Structure 1
Amino acid sequence: MEHSRRWMPRVLRRVMAIALATVAAIALAACSPGPRPANARDVGVQMFQWPWSSLAAECTSFLGPAGYGWVLTSPPNEHITGTAWWTSYQPVSYAVDSRLGTRDEFAAMVGTCHEAGVKVIADAVINHMSGQDEPGTGFAGSRYTHYDYPDLYTGDDFHHCGITPGDDISVYDDAFEVQNCELVNLADLATEKPHVQDAIVAYLDDLLALGVDGFRIDAAKHIPADDIAAIVDRLPEGTFVEQEVIRGAGEPIQPEDYTANGRVLEFGWGRDVKGMIESATVGQATGLGEDWGYLPAHDAVVFVDNHDTERNGETLSYADGAEYLLANVLTLGVGYGTVQLHSGYAFTDRDAGPAQDAAGNVLPATCADDVGSETAFADGDWVCQHRWPGIAGMVSFHNAVGDAPVTREWSEGDAAAWARGDLGFVALNAGAEPITTTLDTGLPAGDYCDVITGGAHATTTSGCSAETVTVDAEGRTTLVLHPMSAVAIHVGARA
């Protein structure tokens, strides 16, 4: 694909990009406004800092078979050198050549994931370039200065707001400052200029030609919504777009300003879920959504954590063990928004990047066989949250119940339960004491496999791989809900 692109006329490249985007639109239809049918594969997972070759192997060995619909990659652009995680978010060129792999490896990964039934969304850093005051050389050899990136951008292509020390953003209650000053010294692109828009669209078109199905627009809050519109309107119809717009109380720039351009990450979700789990008020879980001041469900991408919030403590993270697992059970169980999970590596230094070799390439990502909420992780270990049995099992639950409504709600003390029509049932206990109760599941009588303990493949030829839950002729079951635990069953996982 890489070699053919060098001679391919732009018209033909555009036709190919449109064809790829059409395939993506069909595959991601479950994420679009309107009904979400049962067995739709629309759960995504951010595979943070996973090398391209490792991600390709994971699509085949686990993500596809487990029912994941799409992956979000780390930025596929040339970046500054260094060991910190955030080097990936300081572009120096739009060459698809980074510490995560080469252009050929990226293209091969996209194709492999597609063959496994998994779509690929790329993290697109288009608000800024590097934040380095001194001249340097990027990972793939491109030379640059803070405001000069040869054959791409020069000083006139950047904002210099001139109203704060060092041109850095100092307050967030001034929209002009947020979108025209620099985010922690990162060279802020003048995205209103045609030349800048042309360069960004060419980069995104190139990624589409390599097969990607859409984009996460990093730091979208720092780009005027009209500028993003001018860019995404030039992409093929149906290109998936999600935008990072962090919700801040009382601020002039809000997620609602960006919904015309595509979906928007709803940061309020992860914050509130953390509060519910930590305060054991999960009985409110099924009410989470628009009534809490969130975006409409079809506009929202919800998550328990991402690479930023797991570091700043704003949300729960893998280090919270059972609480983190319950937060993911809740998120996948209630059916609001498009769900994006997170899978990264363990750290104690919030700046630490993944393990690298002497040349700066990220070492292959591998998952231990027994990863889960009780696993003790050392710095640098791949946490592989997407493989935790309870999380992978809830992906199967989410797929099985589709957009079935929440019914048969129950809560007692620190525990809650609900059905999803007559397709699934979930119960969780965020408290410190066990609770024994008999509940109406709404499911047909029979033996079901608990997908929290059984994982993505809870059923076996002889029954269940882990716990079995029996539903009687009246649709009721008796459960012992242990502290900090959950049970989930659905019609697709019967013994």
Structure 2
Amino acid sequence: MMRRHPGRSLAVAAALVAATAVPVSLVSAAAPALASSPAKDVTANLFMWNWNSVASECTNVLGPDGYAAVQVAPPEDSMTDAADGHPWWEIYQPVDYDLTSRMGDDAQFRAMVGACHQAGVKVYVDAVLNHMARQDGNDTSYGGASYTPGSSYPAYSSPDFHNYPNDCPVSSDQITDWNDYTQVTECELDALPDLRTESAYVRSTEAAYLNKLIGYGVDGFRLDAAKHIGHTDLAALESLLNKDTTTGQPVYIVQEVAFGSSNTQLQPSSFENTGSLIGFDYADAIKTQFTGDIADFGGFSSWSLIPGAYSSTFVNNHDTERDGSNLSYKNGATYVLATEFLLAWGFGTPQVYSGFTWNNTGDSPPSDANGYVTGTNCSSGWYCTDRITGVANMVGWHNLALAGGDPVANWYTDGTNLIAFSRGPDAWISLDNESSAQTRTFTTGLPDGTYCDIIHGSVSGGTCTGPTVTVSGNRATVTVPAHDAVAIDRGSRVSGPSTATFTVNVNANATTSWGQNVYIVGSIPALGSWSPANAVALSSRNYPYWTAALSVPANTYLEYKYIKIDSSGNVTWESGANRYYTTGSSGSITFNDTWRS
């Protein structure tokens, strides 16, 4: 939510201060999940997109481009403030836990989760649990519920809230000392009625809401204002949550814990026992470097940041783009370049933010007269970072490096604002934050050949839609445009010396309707580069087994899925995450797969 207090320093020095954990007594709970599947982990934060638009984006963009998950806005029924033009922050003031929100209703939400899972994309929900709506607007919600701030809501009454003097030591009920643990956790944040989260009733009510979402297939949660809930209450709440319906494991948890407190109990490191953490320090450092000298990333290993295993890293989110502490779409090419760096560097679990454009910090997203968010139009009123060619293609680049466990290598810098590096032998990038184009000969670490520059083009049908880069003896002479990047990876090679091949025998069990045929499509040109038009047809001779013998490059990581195409050209993708495999230096493998409905 919007943090209006001066809790976070904008100086990079403060952002990079090491925080020392303190012992905290926690209620026994299963450890929350910290990451996605090993082959992909990028989340797209589609801030305030309505549920129909999220579903479409999962199907048409996020799934095919290799995103692991989507984070969606709080789906609770919230207050409505027509007098102020329905500001975005309405959704952070819940009235009820019914799923009637600005973004859609219960049925649309469930359909969205199903569509995203069908595309192999997990769904993370922004959950507001610290407080309820205050005295704003008409004291009614989008779902038509009435409430009296701090005393009466469909699920709560006065005893369910903290107050002075029983809990909050300040007569105004407001936080005045941001270093006082009791005030931060039991007084009101921005005059928002603070829930008594130590109460068994409040915990069970909140857990019932989250478990309903888990039952709908939700894979994890962003816990808004987690710092103001406190360690013990968070652990107790998490102990009541059901397991992920797909994996049977604890759901993913990421917590909003801002820096700025000298009290170690309120620093992010003390919340590591209850989940991942939003990497505000990393985003601050990104802004500092990209408005200064990106060569400083060469000293990254010495920076004191939230450990990568816990950090959800990002360039900006809905709060920080408005308070000016981080970069935003208003920074133009620098913002895009920073997002491409985020995906290339490989620290933490990266999140790409796509929101709406704004002039005033409280502006509403594009909505109808009643405040309901209209369909996302990336050419008007919205800034869809996740779709930008360089960003979308860098997700696949990132996944390739992630799958190989590739460290940063072949580091180059001109000492100021031109850098380059590889991720092991699989991927290479150069970023130019200078005001003019820069030409250098770089060591890429990649095999000889001609590669598609995926920042400015894509591989389609074995050819590149943009400029290419020629690698010879692991080196390439490249001109990097101003405030731009050039990137290549093993999957983007469009030609090269004769290389060894590996045989993949496909044996997929899939039943079809009349007129349907089954195809395999995947991340490399030999599998159509994720284009259904270039997918490889399988033979139905041994129906219901669909077969083929394919020759693919040796020693190559690939991802793939099966699709069905009917006589009218309609494409149906199998559900679940992308399948993946790394070919050997020679020989063959048989994919004995079964269609996932």
Q: Same fold (TM over 0.5)?
A: yes
Show the counterpart of 2:518: none
Q: Which amino acid aligns with 2:384?
A: C
Shift of 1:192: 1.1
Residue 97 of structure 1 aligns to a residue whose secondary structure is coil
Q: Which moved more, 1:477-486 or 1:312-321?
A: 477-486
- Change in CA separation of 1:102 and 1:275 when aligned onto 2, cut-off 3 Å: same
Shift of 1:166: 2.7
C-alpha separation in 1, matches of 2:296 and 2:136: 49
Given the alignment, which residue of 440, 443, 450 partners 1:447?
Answer: 450
Show the counterpart of 1:247: 259
Residue 271 of structure 1 aligns to a residue whose secondary structure is helix
- Change in CA separation of 1:406 and 1:145 when aligned onto 2, cut-off 3 Å: same
Pair 1:490-2:489 in alignment: yes
Show the counterpart of 2:409: 407
Pair 1:393-2:405 in alignment: no
- Change in CA separation of 1:118 and 1:251 when aligned onto 2, cut-off 3 Å: same
Give the conservation status (yes or no) of the 8 Å contact 2:96–2:154.
Answer: no
* C-alpha RMSD over aligned residues: 1.9
C-alpha separation in 2, matches of 1:145 and 1:249: 32
C-alpha separation in 2, matches of 1:318 and 1:426: 22
How far does the alpha carbon of each residue in 1:390-412 deviate from its partner, in whole angstroms, 9 at most, with x for none? 21121111011113101111100
Shift of 1:321: 0.7
How far does the alpha carbon of each residue in 1:217-250 deviate from its partner, in whole angstroms, 9 at most, with x for none? 0011111111111111222242111101112263
Show the counterpart of 2:421: 418
Give the conservation status (yes or no) of the 8 Å contact 2:134–2:150.
Answer: no
How far does the alpha carbon of each residue in 1:260-314 deviate from its partner, in whole angstroms, 9 at most, with x for none? 11111110111111110111x212225436x321122111110000000011110
Pair 1:469-2:469 in alignment: yes
TM-score by length of 2: 0.72
Extract unaligned runs of 5+ from structure 2.
1-29, 244-248, 495-597
- What is the aligned residue count? 447
Given the alignment, which residue of 305, 309, 313 partners 1:298?
Answer: 309
How far does the alpha carbon of each residue in 1:104-143 deviate from its partner, in whole angstroms, 9 at most, with x for none? 0000000001001111000000011012168711110111
Percent of residue pairs identical: 39
Give the conservation status (yes or no) of the 8 Å contact 2:152–2:158.
Answer: no
Show the counterpart of 2:250: 238
C-alpha separation in 1, matches of 2:277 and 2:255: 5
Residue 393 of structure 1 aligns to a residue whose secondary structure is helix
Residue 99 of structure 2 aligns to a residue whose secondary structure is coil
Give the conservation status (yes or no) of the 8 Å contact 1:159–1:190.
Answer: yes
Q: Which moved more, 1:165-174 or 1:40-49?
A: 165-174
C-alpha separation in 1, matches of 2:136 and 2:395: 44
Give the conservation status (yes or no) of the 8 Å contact 1:134–1:146.
Answer: no
C-alpha separation in 2, matches of 1:29 and 1:217: 17
C-alpha separation in 2, matches of 1:410 and 1:382: 36
Q: Which amino acid aligns with 1:408?
A: N
Show the counterpart of 1:381: 381
Show the counterpart of 2:18: none
Give the conservation status (yes or no) of the 8 Å contact 1:121–1:215.
Answer: yes
Pair 1:215-2:215 in alignment: no
Given the alignment, which residue of 140, 145, 152 partners 1:142?
Answer: 145
- Change in CA separation of 1:303 and 1:286 when aligned onto 2, cut-off 3 Å: farther
C-alpha separation in 2, matches of 1:158 and 1:309: 29
Give the conservation status (yes or no) of the 8 Å contact 2:33–2:275.
Answer: no
Pair 1:173-2:175 in alignment: no
Show the counterpart of 2:583: none
C-alpha separation in 2, matches of 1:25 and 1:225: 17
Pair 1:433-2:436 in alignment: yes
Given the alignment, which residue of 231, 234, 241 partners 1:225?
Answer: 231
- Change in CA separation of 1:443 and 1:81 when aligned onto 2, cut-off 3 Å: same
Q: Which amino acid aligns with 2:141?
A: G
C-alpha separation in 1, matches of 2:333 and 2:261: 30
Show the counterpart of 1:188: 194
Give the conservation status (yes or no) of the 8 Å contact 1:297–1:338.
Answer: yes
TM-score by length of 1: 0.87
Pair 1:129-2:143 in alignment: no
Show the counterpart of 2:284: 271
Show the counterpart of 2:275: 262
C-alpha separation in 1, matches of 2:453 and 2:392: 12
Shift of 1:179: 1.2
Give the conservation status (yes or no) of the 8 Å contact 2:95–2:154.
Answer: no
How far does the alpha carbon of each residue in 1:34-84 deviate from its partner, in whole angstroms, 9 at most, with x for none? xx4xxx221001100100011111111111111111100000100001210
**Largest Rg, 1 or 2:** 2
Is the helix fraction higher in 1 or 2?
1
Give the conservation status (yes or no) of the 8 Å contact 1:286–1:334.
Answer: no
C-alpha separation in 1, matches of 2:307 and 2:366: 39
Given the alignment, which residue of 196, 206, 213 partners 2:212?
Answer: 206
